[in-house]
Amino acid sequence: MKDATDELSNFKDNKISQPSSINGFVESEKEKKIILEKREKWRQAFEARDVEAIMSYYVDDILSYDLMAPIQFEGEKMWRDNWINFFKFFPAEIKITLEDLTVFQEGNLAAIRGLTRLTATTADGNEVDMWARESNVLRKIDGEWLIVHDHISVPMDFENGMALTDLKPIGV
């Protein structure tokens, strides 16, 4: 049986063929550029703690799976309240980095996947430096790309049931 480390090394060294979709696909490079520019503007609104600007990137009936409880957030009010509470937890500067963003787009539907690094200090003074996995589903409505589903997660250790917030992407 092959060792998992050998398999990972082979994949990283391109000795194993990658599925063609791993690099995403787009019907329109113009739409991809618009989507990535919106994602960057969302990041800036996040770091500015501008809840109104953040909410402008989502549909009113957003469904989100986030790191915090509850297991799902339904609708604009619940999602807005989540952001307000999130920023209370991190009263000082907060930074995120969006890495390895991949866009999939066809017609009026698109998806983005990537890794997000959060660095901040909690209200209790604890330093946070963690990576999470993120996926967004977008729909073009009245000419504007809006997020209809947002999902952010971290892996977990099944032996102890704890979230693994100290993992880093390959090569970091």
pLDDT tens for the chain, residues 1 to 172? 344 344 334 334 444 444 555 678 899 999 999 999 999 999 999 999 999 999 999 999 999 999 999 999 999 999 999 999 999 999 999 999 999 899 999 999 999 999 999 999 999 999 999 999 999 999 999 999 999 999 999 999 999 999 999 999 887 7
Alpha carbon dihedral 172, 90, 153, 53, in 10-degree steps, equals -100
Per-residue pLDDT at 132:
96
Per-residue confidence (pLDDT) for residue 118, from 0 to 100: 97
User: Which pLDDT value is given to residue 17?
Assistant: 45
Burial of 136: CB neighbours in 10 Å, binned 0-12, 13-18, 19+: buried
Retrieve residue 124's tokens: 């209790």
Sign of CA dihedral 61, 138, 39, 154: positive
pTM for the model: 0.84
Taking residue 90's Cβ as centre, other Cβ atoms within 10 Å add up to 16
The pLDDT of residue 163 is: 92
Please give the backbone phi and psi of residue 118, each rounded to the nearest 5 degrees, phi first.
Answer: -110, 125
Position 171 scores a pLDDT of: 79
